[in-house]
Structure 1
Amino acid sequence: MFEELYEPLPDPARYWNRLGIDRCGLSPDREGLDRIVYAHQCAIPFENLDACDYRTPISLGIGDLFEKIVLGRRGGYCFELNALFTALLADAGFAVAPCFARSLKDRGYIQPVAHRGTIVAVGEERVFCDVGYGGPMPACALPLEDGAEISSCGQTFRIERMESPWWRILYCGRASSDGAAASGSSAEPKREPVLAFMDAVQHEVDFVALSLYCSTHPNSIFTQQRMINRRTGEGSVSVTADRFVRTGRGVKEQRIIGSEDEFHALLEQHFGIVAPRKARWITTAQ
Structure 2
Amino acid sequence: MTDLAAYLDRIDYAGPTDATIDTLHALVAAHNSAIPFENLDPLMGIPVVDLSRAALFDKLVQRRRGGYCYEQNGVMGYVLAELGFGVQRLGGRVVWMNHSEELPAQTHEALSVTVPGVQGPWLVDVGFGGQTLSSPIRLEVDAVQPTRHEPYRIREHGDGLLLEAQIRSEWHALYTFTTKPQPQIDREVGSWYVSTYPKSVFVVGLSAALLTDDARWNLRGRNLAIHSAGDTERIRFATAADVLNALTDRFGIDLTDLGDRVDVEARVNAVLDC
CA distance in structure 2 between the partners assigned to 1:173 and 1:77 by the alignment: 22
- SS of the aligned residue for 2:13 comes to coil
Moved more, 80-89 or 108-117: 108-117
CA distance in structure 2 between the partners assigned to 1:274 and 1:145 by the alignment: 38
Q: What whole-Å deviation, never above 9, does each CA across 1:52-106 have from its counterpart, x for those lacking one?
A: 1x21132212112111110111100111111111100011110101011011213
Alignment partner of 1:161 is 2:156: yes
Aligned residue identity for 1:197 = F
Q: What whole-Å deviation, never above 9, does each CA across 1:128-153 have from its counterpart, x for those lacking one?
A: 11011113132111212111111122
1:231 touches 1:237 (CA, 8 Å); kept in 2? yes
Question: Structure 2 vs 1, CA of residues 199 and 283 (structure 1 numbering), >3 Å: closer, same or farther?
Answer: closer
CA distance in structure 1 between the partners assigned to 2:125 and 2:158 by the alignment: 21
Which consecutive unaligned segments of at least 5 residues does structure 1 have? 1-8, 175-188
1:37 touches 1:131 (CA, 8 Å); kept in 2? yes
Alignment partner of 1:222 is 2:177: no
- SS of the aligned residue for 1:22 comes to coil
Q: What whole-Å deviation, never above 9, does each CA across 1:230-249 have from its counterpart, x for those lacking one?
A: 00122111211221112224
Q: CA deviation at 1:162?
A: 2.4
Equivalent residue number for residue 113 of structure 2: 120
Alignment partner of 1:20 is 2:6: no
TM-score, structure 1 as length reference:
0.85
Q: CA deviation at 1:173?
A: 2.4
Alignment length (residue pairs): 261
Question: Structure 2 vs 1, CA of residues 279 and 172 (structure 1 numbering), >3 Å: closer, same or farther?
Answer: closer
CA distance in structure 2 between the partners assigned to 1:194 and 1:270 by the alignment: 26
Identity of aligned residues (%): 26
Aligned residue identity for 2:147 = S
Alignment partner of 1:172 is 2:172: no
Match of 1:248 among 217, 228, 231: 228
Question: Structure 2 vs 1, CA of residues 284 and 21 (structure 1 numbering), >3 Å: closer, same or farther?
Answer: closer
Q: CA deviation at 1:30?
A: 2.0
Equivalent residue number for residue 45 of structure 2: 55
- SS of the aligned residue for 2:114 comes to strand
Equivalent residue number for residue 66 of structure 1: 57
CA distance in structure 1 between the partners assigned to 2:170 and 2:72 by the alignment: 30
1:119 touches 1:128 (CA, 8 Å); kept in 2? yes
1:100 touches 1:202 (CA, 8 Å); kept in 2? yes
Alignment partner of 1:38 is 2:38: no
Which structure 2 residues correspond to residues 1-286 of structure 1 after superposition, within 5 A?
Answer: 11-22=3-14, 25-52=16-43, 54-58=44-48, 59-109=50-100, 110-122=103-115, 123-164=118-159, 166-173=160-167, 189-275=169-255, 276=259, 277-278=263-264, 280=266, 281-282=269-270, 284-285=272-273
CA distance in structure 2 between the partners assigned to 1:159 and 1:200 by the alignment: 16
2:51 touches 2:74 (CA, 8 Å); kept in 1? yes
Question: Structure 2 vs 1, CA of residues 265 and 235 (structure 1 numbering), >3 Å: closer, same or farther?
Answer: same
Aligned residue identity for 2:113 = V
CA distance in structure 2 between the partners assigned to 1:108 and 1:262 by the alignment: 32
